[in-house]
Chains A and B, each alone.
Chain A
Amino acid sequence: MSEVDTLVRAGPARPEPPPPMGLLAELTHRCSLRCPYCSNPLELDRRSSELTTAEWKRLIDEAAALGVLHIYFSGGEPMLRRDIAELVAHAHEAGLYTNMITSGVGFQPALLDAVAEAGLDHIQLSIQAVDAATCDRVAGYQGALARKHAVAADIARLGLRLTVNAVVHRENVHQIGDFVRLAEDWGAARIEIAHVQYYGWGLVNRDRLMPTRRQVETAMADVEAARSRTAGRLVIDCVLPDYYARYPKACMGGWGARLMNVTPSGRVLPCHAAETIAGLSFDNVRDASLSEIWYRGVAFNAFRGTDWMKEPCRSCERKHLDFGGCRCQAMALAGDASATDPACSLSPLHQQVVALAEADAASDRSDFIYRTYQGV
């Protein structure tokens, strides 16, 4: 075989992807709250398997060298790590923009002063509802809302840039206006209103959480009204529920295009739900560098670009806009991670998905299956 033949068979060289913009560092899966839509996997990493302080610091250095701009300290509850202030300081010194995604529950107030002192740029505080009864019930934790009010006051005292994270579903979707007013009261510059995404725990609880189409439409109008009212004062970002949508979400800005996710025990994922995709294996930072994993890793290259697409995505003019939607949702709903996300109206399965959503929305179940280490 000639060299030319070999080159032809190998196909055109794949263009090198740009460096990642952000890294989600899931420091631990431990958390005081038990939200039934938790984005952590059903099978949670144990404390004994968590990366050490030294391993996280090495990872942070590699991320900075690779071109990561934002690091998100997340979990579980990242503030449960005893070395949290040390890790924030390390990331800050490495030049990264540091974000903390917290529930506000399970740590002493003084720790907030310590992370602020360490150079934290931005804190995201979750809230499950504006009333204590619903908030505490959804969080599965008595006194959660009261504690969050206290943490918000500490954040204001420290002058930290605050985002309020409100996850919405059919039990609190009518509270959007109230969430926005609470964010204003707390001095937030931004609020993220995210409809539950149905993976892992959310999928297990879908018939307890799914809103009706009418509720979703009202919620979208509520968001627009709040945007007009608070323009210039509060940034309102909204993550839409996609079962009722016409086109799917541009999940992660494209697979392996912008973000990396590191689990507590060091597995590196293209998104936090990627482990639900059967047959895909993931590299661990204990075995390879972040750079090797990003550029050469099997998982990161599995759905990069558009070559992997099937019809109707392959010939679709929107393929560079939404990248065929979400691979994990294609896995969950179509049983094939390279299928068109069934949230897309062009998917042959779309009508079935709409029917699923409508049936779940009509359910009167409210007995949440709470997140737990024992699994379901």
Chain B
Amino acid sequence: MTAETTQDLAAQDLATIVPALPRGVRLRFDEARQQWFLLGPERVFEPDETAIEILQRIDGTRSVEAIAEDLATRFEADRDEIAADVMAFLRGLANQRMIDL
């Protein structure tokens, strides 16, 4: 497989991968501590600012590509770089069953 086809496949994947928070995982803002938490079974994650921006765009309809494009526009950053970061972040959460991909 050539480098070019690998890249094409990756691009296609990002358009078809639609992340969703499964039942039993919730993103919420805690008034007492004035911060965001991602909550799951026996898990409490404290997302950093970047993670919060990603998590807030996950609605079960938007693809990883769409989320990355939105973030790239908002933060005037490189789209491919953002997409790679978003995907790595989501894979880490998916491994812990905190997100469905």
Contact = CB atoms under 8 A, between A and B. Distances in A.
Interface residues of B, number: 19
B87 to A, nearest CB: 15
A124 B40 CA distance: 13
Contacts of A231: 95
Interface string A176-195: 00000000000001101000
A161 B25 CA distance: 9
A121 B43 CA distance: 12
Nearest to A95: B28
A69 B39 contact: yes
A163 B41 contact: yes
Nearest to B43: A235
A65 B32 CA distance: 7
A19 B41 contact: no
Contacts of A189: 22, 24, 41, 97
Interface in B44-66: 44
B41 A67 contact: no
A192 to B, nearest CB: 8
Contacts of B28: 95, 97
Contacts of A235: 41, 96-97
B58 to A, nearest CB: 17
B76 interface: no
Nearest to A21: B44
A169 interface: no
A19 B42 contact: no
B33 interface: yes
Contacts of B30: 67, 69
A234 B95 CA distance: 9
Given A66-B32, A69-B37, A69-B39, A161 B44 contact: no
A161 to B, nearest CB: 3
Given A159-B23, A161-B23, A232 B95 contact: yes
A21 B35 CA distance: 13
A337 B2 CA distance: 66
A290 interface: no
Interface in A176-229: 189-190, 192
Given A189-B97, A190-B42, A232-B94, A67 B33 contact: yes
A161 B30 CA distance: 22
A67 B34 CA distance: 10
A162 to B, nearest CB: 8
A97 B25 CA distance: 9
A311 interface: no
Contacts of B94: 232
A174 to B, nearest CB: 25
Nearest to B26: A97
A30 interface: no
A70 interface: yes
Contact of B39 (A70, A160, A163): A70
B71 to A, nearest CB: 25
B24 A160 contact: yes
Contacts of B23: 121, 159-161
Contacts of A69: 30, 37, 39, 44
Nearest to A99: B41
B29 to A, nearest CB: 9
Contacts of B40: 122, 161
Contact of A190 (B39, B41, B44, B95): B41
A237 interface: yes
A332 to B, nearest CB: 26
29 contacts: A18-B33, A65-B32, A66-B32, A67-B32, A69-B30, A69-B39, A69-B44, A70-B42, A70-B44, A99-B41, A121-B24, A121-B39, A122-B24, A122-B40, A122-B41, A124-B41, A161-B22, A161-B24, A161-B40, A163-B41, A163-B42, A189-B24, A189-B97, A190-B41, A192-B42, A231-B95, A232-B95, A234-B97, A235-B41
Given A122-B41, A189-B41, A189-B97, 8 more contacts: A65-B32, A70-B42, A121-B39, A159-B23, A163-B41, A190-B41, A232-B94, A237-B42
The 7 closest A-B pairs by CB, nearest first: A161-B24, A67-B32, A189-B97, A97-B39, A122-B41, A122-B24, A232-B95
Interface of A: 18-19, 21, 65-67, 69-70, 95, 97, 99, 121-122, 124, 159-161, 163, 189-190, 192, 231-235, 237
